[in-house]
Amino acid sequence: MTNLRRKLPPLTALTVFEAVARLGGFTRAAAELGVTQAAISRQIHLLEETFGFPLFRRLHRRVELTEKGKQLSSTATTAFNLIAETISEWSREEAEEDLAIAATIAFSHFWLLPRISSFSKAHPTIRLRIITQDNAVKVDGEDVDLAIRFGTGIWPDGDAEFLFHDEIFPICSADYAQEIGEIEHLAQLTRHPLITNDTADPTWTDWAEWFAAFSVPMPSKSSGMHCSFYTEAIYAALNGHGIALGWRRLVEDLLTQNRLVRLTRQAIVTQNAYFFIAPRRKARKKAVDLLIDWLKREASIPDPS
């Protein structure tokens, strides 16, 4: 290493030379490197003194490479490009370890986050970023590697693959269920507070659609709490404010823990389903394939109930 350093010119001066040669002038090189033109001149003069011959011909308002200057410029450009490519490759490898997943608030909160630690334990070098919002995050941008959505499976911004269907039934807290007693007829549900939530998703099933599936008239008014998000509706049910619609895939952990209970045997199976969507317009990271395999395994785990 010591012998190599003795053979090389000052690296700062060589960097300045490469910029001047590539840009064709001291002024442009000074602007690119963020120094004064005088500083550029000093570094070039130092380099020429080191070599003992000129690298540039000073012409009127411009400089021109000498023959030896041209040789050094070609070699320096090749060397700097090789260094830049190596660093760029490191950056790509580093980026391979970052994985951004988009999901709705409810799916992220109740299904993804309680399970994702098993993926992280199996792949500790992959840094996960969960993008949580109910408005669909487009996967054809640069920030999302995989999205999970509920719907038809047809979206213009990515390739969708089926994950699972869901089924929907009334749920409430264990204490509330004991308080109201057994539900023998579905019409009995309408006498109790029905918890609802806002949604901009036309594929989301609400109480009116659920009752209609069993030919039960929906009351014109309900005394139940109205929430902005499904997560809030579930927490309202957990705290005994009434009856909510439980999407089994989302609330199955709460059912297993007996924090929520299912009130009826009747349920409707969703026509739509959950899908994961990968971008079409960018190369898929290896980490995405690992996540997809993990999602498929988790989706295939049978209902504990």
CATH architecture of the domain with range 167-269: 3-Layer(aba) Sandwich (3.40)
Q: How confident is the model over 263-287, as pLDDT tens digits?
A: 999 999 999 999 999 888 777 788 8
Out of 3.40.50.2000, 3.40.50.10190, 3.30.420.40, 1.10.10.10, select the CATH number for domain 2-91.
Answer: 1.10.10.10
CA angle 65, 69, 72 (to 5 degrees): 140
Q: How many Å apart are CA 155 and CA 165, to the nearest integer?
A: 17
Report, as an integer, the average pLDDT of 24-51.
89
In Å, how far are 112, 132, 143, 161, 188 from 96, measured between CA atoms?
Answer: 21, 21, 13, 22, 54
Task: Decide whether 2-91 matches 97-163+272-300 in CATH topology.
Answer: no
Give residue 79's pLDDT: 86
CATH fold group of domain 97-163+272-300 = D-Maltodextrin-Binding Protein; domain 2 (3.40.190)
Q: What sign results for the dihedral spanned by CA atoms 166, 169, 171, 177?
A: negative
β-sheet bridge partners, residue 130: 101
pTM: predicted TM-score of the whole model, two decimal places: 0.67
Kindly indicate the confidence band of residue 298, based on its pLDDT and cuts at 50, 70 and 90. very high
Examine the pLDDT at 4 and tell me if it is beyond 70.
Answer: no
Q: Is 281 left (phi over 0), alpha (psi -120 to 50) or beta?
A: alpha
For residue 59, what is the DSSP state?
A: E
Which residues, 6 or more positions from 191, have their beta carbon under 8 angstroms from its beta carbon? none
Domain boundaries, the chain: 2-91, 97-163+272-300, 167-269
Tokens 């507070």, residue located:
193
